[in-house]
Amino acid sequence: MFSPLIDELMHALKVLPGVGPKSAQRMALQLLEHNREGALRLADSLQRAVEGVARCGRCRTLTEQPLCGVCASERRDNSLLCVVETPADVLAIEQAGSYQGKYFVLLGHLSPIDGVGPEDIGIDQLLALLEAEPVAEIILATNPTVEGEATAYYISERAKKAGINVTRIAHGVPLGGELEYIDGGTLAHAFSSRRSL
Amino acid sequence: MQRVELQPAFVVHARPYRDTSFLVDFFTPDYGRLCAVARGARRGKNSQRPLLNPFIPLLISFQGKDSLQLLLSLESTGHGLPLTGNRLFSGLYLNELLRRVLSEWDSCPHLFEYYTEALRALAGDQDVEVVLRRFERQLLQELGYAIDWHCEAHTGSPLMADAWYRLEPQEGFIESAPDERGRYYLGANLIAIAEDSYELAETKRAAKHISRTLLQPLLGDQPLKSRQLFL
């Protein structure tokens, strides 16, 4: 229905998450009809980001510098290391704003059925980092799923062997939530890891 | 189009599918292993999400025309079985085993029962190795790869405690004098395994080796990834 170039653009837009044929068409027409300047800016920044952004050499999050902002910062606490699954988790914790240590991003979790073993989530790099830096505590912030728990346990065993204190973030009732609507597994966990006041 | 209501099930594996869904491998008694789409389960506050994890006893309803089913509803019938540490890795090992050797839509009610028992035993305080060996034997038996644990394969005479045997995966145990090549098992250990009594470390070692040998043809060249997790 559309000319080849427009078709190609719509097809290309469909790589974005949540964008199907209808949204792709709307986006393509919006850019071509009403916002050509914006379209050029988008094309240019896409190009530069894809060419420039790689992994941080220390924590493996996304950055275009050799070391990401957090790793390069002098003000962050070098003795705390928070281990997360994805760069999005780093952003979530940074937005919460209360953590002052550094990070390590696994880029996944242990999942034998998917063929993801310890060497695929950078365990060797993590252990090398623990040896090279004065880390006193590892905070395991992998997801509270079965795979996330398996990953946390695996790392804790390896880190304990290296003589490092290991902690796991707490799981339980969300702030402002109501007990009535919380699933049984979460409640059971909240009770088993209760603390005295 | 068939519609199945309230079938007992465990999640074997769930992986992200499209933007907001999961593609879930379930293990059920009447339909064996099957794959279903849990539509919208990855959306923020979806109530299904916490249940789409392994080791939680579930009741599921699903429908579909071909091999891929649509998950209609799921509820848990009890608490998830709390597995931690090596017991969690063992649970993942069981799941990887199921996924690798069990074909889809192969009804196996006994195996489902054995699997449930094995998970309960892992959640309790039974010796992990004993639970795994027992399940591996039951799995092989249900798939039709069982070997005779009581008689010598060529002569048919009962296994003797003080004799040595070698294992031929297609045939069974054959009495033969041990030499340096190959692996030989003492009759006493084989009798102990058949009786499900694993008191000696030597019996456990033999059982592990026999399981691996028998599972090898079913698994092919790719080794089980979950074995790497045990430290």
More confident residue, B170 or A134: A134
User: Do strands B172-175 and B164-168 pair parallel, antiparallel, or not at all (unpaired)?
Assistant: antiparallel
At B182 the pLDDT is 76
Which two three-digit tokens encode residue A178? 């109501």
Which of A113, A183, A185 has the CB atom closest to B99's CB atom? Answer: A113
The pLDDT tens digits for A126-148 are 999 999 999 999 999 999 999 99
Asked whether residue A166 carries a pLDDT value surpassing 90, the answer given is: yes
pLDDT band at B5 (very low <50, low <70, confident <90, very high): very high
Percent of residues, chain A, with pLDDT higher than 90: 79
Asked whether residue B72 carries a pLDDT value surpassing 90, the answer given is: yes
Question: B1: number of CA atoms within 13 Å, CB side?
Answer: 6
Give the A:B interface size as CB pairs under 8 Å.
Answer: 65
Report chain A's mean pLDDT, rounded to a whole number: 92
**CATH code, A4-52:** 1.10.8.420
At B183 the pLDDT is 84
Asked whether residue B181 carries a pLDDT value surpassing 80, the answer given is: no
A15 in B contact zone (CB under 8 Å): no
pLDDT band at A99 (very low <50, low <70, confident <90, very high): very high
CA distances from A134 to A126, B33, B181 (A): 13, 48, 50
Scanning B22-61 for CB atoms below 8 A from A yields: 25, 47, 50-51, 53-56
B95 in A contact zone (CB under 8 Å): yes
pLDDT band at A38 (very low <50, low <70, confident <90, very high): very high
User: In 3D, which of B124, B128, B120 has the Cα closest to residue B112?
Assistant: B120
At A52 the pLDDT is 95
Long-range contacts of B214-219 (CB under 8 A, 24+ apart): B214/B136, B214/B140, B214/B145, B214/B147, B214/B167, B214/B169, B215/B97, B215/B101, B215/B136, B215/B140, B216/B169, B217/B169, B218/B100, B218/B101, B218/B143, B218/B145, B219/B100, B219/B101
Which two three-digit tokens encode residue B161? 């405690």
Annotation: CATH topology of B2-76: OB fold (Dihydrolipoamide Acetyltransferase, E2P) (2.40.50)
Asked whether residue B45 carries a pLDDT value surpassing 80, the answer given is: no
Q: What are phi and psi of A44, to 5 degrees?
A: -65, -45
pLDDT band at B223 (very low <50, low <70, confident <90, very high): confident
Mean pLDDT of A12-35: 93
At B148 the pLDDT is 87
At B130 the pLDDT is 92
Region for residue A158 given its phi and psi (left: phi exceeds 0; alpha: psi -120 to 50; beta: otherwise):
alpha
Chain B residues near residue A111 by CB distance under 8 angstroms: 13
Percent of residues, chain B, with pLDDT higher than 90: 47
Given CATH 1.10.10.10, say whether it is the number of domain A75-168.
Answer: no
Three-state SS for B109?
helix
At B25 the pLDDT is 95
Buried b (16+ CB within 10 A) or exposed e, A151-163: bbbbbbebbeeee
At A101 the pLDDT is 95
At A3 the pLDDT is 92
**CATH code, B85-229:** 1.20.1440.120
Mean pLDDT of B94-101: 94
Closest residue of chain A to B46, computed from CA coordinates: A183
Give the residue extent of every domain in chain B. 2-76, 85-229
Which of B76, B229, B231 has the CB atom closest to A184's CB atom? Answer: B76
Which two three-digit tokens encode residue A168? 């796991």
pLDDT band at B150 (very low <50, low <70, confident <90, very high): confident
At residue B45's C-alpha, the angle toward residues B41 and B48, to 5°, is 40
CA distance A164 to A139: 11
Amino acid at A32: L
Contact A185 B79 (CB under 8 A): yes
Give the residue extent of every domain in chain A. 4-52, 75-168
- ipTM reported for the complex, 2 dp: 0.85
In the 3-class helix/strand/coil scheme, how is A69-97 assigned residue by residue?
A: HHHHCCCCEEEEEEEECCHHHHHHHHHHC
